[in-house]
């Protein structure tokens, strides 16, 4: 009895693994339940350990090769640098969250938060001072070390320089003497030419020597030991945190929404008392205007939003929303059209030219077309009711800061993702088993029950296969479209990083590359799971 229960759990887990498509985890689970340990260990070795080793090998190769290639934007980042970039990006996002929270806090909470942040600031300050001291000490030590290394070089340089100067003066004097002799016809002119060439070569050699020493010295100066850099970096990091704390405090106090509102209300009240006390007409008018403008400002304060800076996390969320919206639009167009194509040869014949012509069109062209077309609908996007509604502070979707750019990116995704779904749906519907249609005829099913009970269910596996390709295409197209059109999202993140070219940029681009890849992978998995849900063989047991 106990055995069958364990078996149930085991096969449950295996089923989940199977459906989600992570077959690699099958042997370890079986091993855990003690099924044919030898075979499982063999399989784990083959299908888990070897691939992991291979990936580790690739990462190692990357670590070794990356620093050897110098580019305009610095060295190719190593995996560690990309990892750090990832952590920094996450922290950046967190900081935005903290500031946003600070901006909206009010009442007791705000005061509590201020206290907390101040305590934290004090801690950070102490830490910073410590680190700063360490940094200073290390750099002083390093400087002493450097000076020690530099001193002999400097000495050599000075000596050589003096020596060369002397030699050069001597050669110059010799040349003057020789030229005098040539003028007096006491020496051959060819000798003079030879002497000049000789002089030039010697001078060049001497200059070269001096330059070599200088370069060696510069090298030592510009490459302070690693510890100095690290200490400096650690101190800078804390300094950044302190800076962030200050910003946070300012959002908790003067920059705080409730505070701002309160200040406007107070101003309006002041003006009101001044208005009551006013003696001249001019003064009264001025105060009355103050009352009006401040009351208005106080009323409008609620609509204010925290001006969020775009982090990679936010960009990822936005890209995901855009691709899903685009994908849904595409699917909503493609599936009905595909069904009609599959059902009716005339519709198919009508749509074939359109499909054949528009399918190969590059996403870039669609992007530009939609940019123009969508742009025309929203001459003044800030005031357009759709965006006012979507971005109003009470709407949870305002986080995504919807704008026309998002709409035309989504349209581009829809346009490009349309085709695989359409073609597959048409194929699925038209390749329905004629026996099933005969059954429908014998049972005298009407058009709609034939469509929904027989045609659609039987074509669903192919429809989902098409949707899976569509989503993959859509995700790829979206990143390119965002990069090209500066529509917020991962594509824009990559493009911005490429443009601003700071020391972190390259690492950030590679980070984004991994984020895009991993998300693409999970979207694909999701579609595989959905596909397996609708395929008839799975439908019962899930």
Q: How far is the CB of 462 from other proteins (least distance, A)?
A: 13
Rank residues 455 and 527 by Cβ distance to other proteins and give the closer one.
455
The residue within the footprint of other proteins, chosen from 306, 453, 513, 520 (CB under 8 A), is: 453
The residue within the footprint of other proteins, chosen from 201, 215, 352, 449 (CB under 8 A), is: 449
Q: How far is the CB of 471 from other proteins (least distance, A)?
A: 23
Phi, psi of 71 (to 5 degrees): -125, 175
Q: Which residues pair with 74 in a beta bridge?
A: 71
**Integer Cα distance of 519 and 182 in angstroms:** 84
**Integer Cα distance of 526 and 70 in angstroms:** 40
**Integer Cα distance of 22 and 526 in angstroms:** 12
Q: Does 439 bind other proteins (CB under 8 A)?
A: yes
Rank residues 417 and 432 by Cβ distance to other proteins and give the closer one.
432
> 246-261: buried (b, 16+ CB within 10 Å) or exposed (e) per residue?
eebbebbeebbbbbbb
Q: Does 536 bind other proteins (CB under 8 A)?
A: yes
Rank residues 250 and 458 by Cβ distance to other proteins and give the closer one.
458
CA torsion, ordered 61, 62, 65, 71, to nearest 10 deg: 170
Q: Does 451 bind other proteins (CB under 8 A)?
A: no
Q: How far apart are the first and last CA of the chain?
A: 24
Rank residues 291 and 460 by Cβ distance to other proteins and give the closer one.
460
**Integer Cα distance of 224 and 229 in angstroms:** 7
Site string for other proteins, 102-131 (x = CB under 8 A): ------------------------------
Q: How far is the CB of 436 from other proteins (least distance, A)?
A: 6
**Integer Cα distance of 331 and 479 in angstroms:** 19
Phi, psi of 70 (to 5 degrees): -95, 135
Rank residues 385 and 446 by Cβ distance to other proteins and give the closer one.
446
The residue within the footprint of other proteins, chosen from 443, 518, 526, 542 (CB under 8 A), is: 443
**Integer Cα distance of 463 and 457 in angstroms:** 10
Segment lying near other proteins (by CB under 8 A), choices 36-44, 171-179, 489-497, 534-542: 534-542
- 454 sits in which H/E element: none
**Integer Cα distance of 426 and 341 in angstroms:** 5
- 18 sits in which H/E element: helix 2-20
Phi, psi of 215 (to 5 degrees): -60, -45
Comparing C-alpha atoms, which of 2, 88, 104, 201 is closest to residue 508?
88
The residue within the footprint of other proteins, chosen from 410, 422, 454, 516 (CB under 8 A), is: 454
Site string for other proteins, 417-436 (x = CB under 8 A): ----------------x-xx
Comparing C-alpha atoms, which of 275, 273, 150 is closest to residue 214?
150
Rank residues 171 and 453 by Cβ distance to other proteins and give the closer one.
453
Q: Count of residues binding other proteins (CB under 8 A)? A: 21
Q: Does 537 bind other proteins (CB under 8 A)?
A: yes
Q: How far is the CB of 451 from other proteins (least distance, A)?
A: 13
Which positions from 455 through 494 interact with other proteins, judged by CB under 8 A? Answer: 457-458, 460
Is residue 342 packed enough to be buried (19+ CB in 10 Å), middle (13-18) or exposed (0-12)? Answer: buried
Do 379 and 421 contact (CB within 8 A), yes or no? no
Q: Does 19 bind other proteins (CB under 8 A)?
A: no
Q: Which residues contact 69 (CB under 8 A, 6 or more apart)?
A: 75, 76
Q: How far is the CB of 432 from other proteins (least distance, A)?
A: 11
Phi, psi of 256 (to 5 degrees): -70, 140
Rank residues 364 and 437 by Cβ distance to other proteins and give the closer one.
437
Tokens standing for residue 269: 């009240």
Q: How far is the CB of 445 from other proteins (least distance, A)?
A: 6
Rank residues 377 and 447 by Cβ distance to other proteins and give the closer one.
447
Q: How far is the CB of 8 from other proteins (least distance, A)?
A: 18
Phi, psi of 406 (to 5 degrees): -65, -40
Rank residues 35 and 538 by Cβ distance to other proteins and give the closer one.
538
Rank residues 219 and 537 by Cβ distance to other proteins and give the closer one.
537
Q: Where are the beta strands (DSSP E) in 5-80?
A: 70-71, 74-75
Segment lying near other proteins (by CB under 8 A), choices 85-93, 116-124, 361-369, 445-453: 445-453
For residue 105, give the 3-state DSSP assignment.
coil
The residue within the footprint of other proteins, chosen from 31, 234, 239, 445 (CB under 8 A), is: 445
Q: How far is the CB of 437 from other proteins (least distance, A)?
A: 10
Rank residues 414 and 465 by Cβ distance to other proteins and give the closer one.
465
Q: How far is the CB of 449 from other proteins (least distance, A)?
A: 7
**Integer Cα distance of 307 and 537 in angstroms:** 51
DSSP 8-class letter at 71: E
Q: How far is the CB of 540 from other proteins (least distance, A)?
A: 5
Segment lying near other proteins (by CB under 8 A), choices 37-45, 110-118, 346-354, 449-457: 449-457
Q: Does 448 bind other proteins (CB under 8 A)?
A: no
Q: How far is the CB of 539 from other proteins (least distance, A)?
A: 6
Q: Does 530 bind other proteins (CB under 8 A)?
A: no
**Integer Cα distance of 330 and 9 in angstroms:** 40
Rank residues 168 and 430 by Cβ distance to other proteins and give the closer one.
430
Rank residues 377 and 536 by Cβ distance to other proteins and give the closer one.
536
Residues lying near other proteins in the complex (CB under 8 A) are found at 433, 435-436, 438-439, 441-446, 449, 453-454, 457-458, 460, 536-537, 539-540
């Amino acid at each position: 009895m106990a055995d069958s229960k364990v078996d149930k759990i085991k096969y449950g887990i295996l089923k989940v693994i199977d459906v989600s498509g992570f077959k690699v985890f099958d042997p370890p689970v079986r091993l855990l339940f003690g099924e044919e340990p030898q075979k499982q260990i063999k399989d784990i070795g083959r299908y888990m350990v070897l691939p992991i080793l291979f990936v580790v090998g690739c990462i190692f190769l990357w670590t070794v090769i990356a620093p050897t290639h110098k580019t305009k934007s610095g060295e190719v980042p190593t995996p560690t640098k990309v990892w750090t970039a990832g952590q920094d990006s996450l922290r950046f996002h967190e900081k935005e969250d903290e500031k946003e929270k600070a901006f909206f806090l009010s009442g007791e909470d705000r005061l509590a938060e201020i206290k907390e942040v101040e305590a934290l600031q004090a801690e950070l300050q102490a830490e910073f001072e410590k680190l700063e001291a360490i940094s200073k000490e290390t750099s002083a030590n390093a400087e002493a070390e450097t000076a020690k290394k530099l001193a002999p070089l400097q000495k050599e340089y000075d000596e050589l320089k003096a020596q060369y100067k002397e030699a050069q003066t001597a050669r110059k004097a010799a040349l003057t003497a020789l030229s005098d002799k040539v003028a007096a016809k006491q020496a051959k002119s060819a000798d003079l030419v030879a002497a000049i060439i000789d002089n030039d070569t010697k001078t060049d050699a001497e200059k070269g020597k001096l330059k070599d020493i200088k370069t060696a010295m510069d090298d030592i100066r510009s490459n302070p030991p690693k510890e100095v850099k690290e200490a400096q970096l650690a101190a800078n990091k804390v300094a950044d945190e302190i800076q962030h704390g200050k910003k946070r405090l300012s959002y908790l106090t003067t920059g705080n929404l409730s505070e701002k509102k309160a200040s406007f209300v107070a101003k309006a009240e002041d003006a009101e008392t001044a208005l009551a006390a006013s003696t001249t007409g001019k003064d009264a008018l001025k105060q009355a205007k103050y009352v009006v403008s401040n009351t208005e400002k106080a009323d409008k304060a609620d609509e204010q939003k925290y001006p969020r800076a775009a982090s990679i996390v936010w960009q990822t969320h936005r890209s995901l929303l855009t691709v899903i919206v685009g994908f849904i639009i595409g699917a909503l167009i493609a599936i009905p059209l595909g069904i009609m194509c599959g059902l009716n040869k005339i519709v198919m014949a009508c749509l074939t030219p359109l499909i054949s012509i528009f399918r190969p069109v590059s996403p870039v062209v669609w992007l530009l077309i939609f940019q123009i077309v969508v742009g025309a609908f929203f001459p003044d996007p800030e005031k357009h009711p759709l965006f006012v509604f979507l971005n109003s502070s009470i709407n949870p979707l305002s986080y995504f800061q919807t704008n026309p750019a998002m709409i035309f990116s989504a349209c581009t995704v829809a346009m490009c993702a349309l085709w695989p779904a359409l073609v597959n749906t048409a194929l699925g519907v038209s390749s329905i088993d004629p026996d099933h249609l005969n059954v429908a005829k014998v049972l005298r099913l009407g058009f709609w029950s034939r469509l929904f009970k027989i045609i659609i269910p039987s074509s669903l596996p192919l429809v989902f296969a098409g949707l899976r390709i569509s989503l993959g295409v859509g995700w790829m197209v979206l990143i390119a479209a965002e990069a090209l059109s500066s529509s917020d999202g991962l594509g824009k993140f990559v493009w911005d990083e490429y443009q601003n070219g700071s020391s972190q940029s390259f690492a950030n681009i590679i980070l984004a590359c991994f984020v895009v890849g991993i998300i693409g992978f999970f979207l694909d998995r999701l579609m595989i799971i959905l596909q397996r849900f609708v395929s008839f063989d799975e439908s019962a047991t899930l």
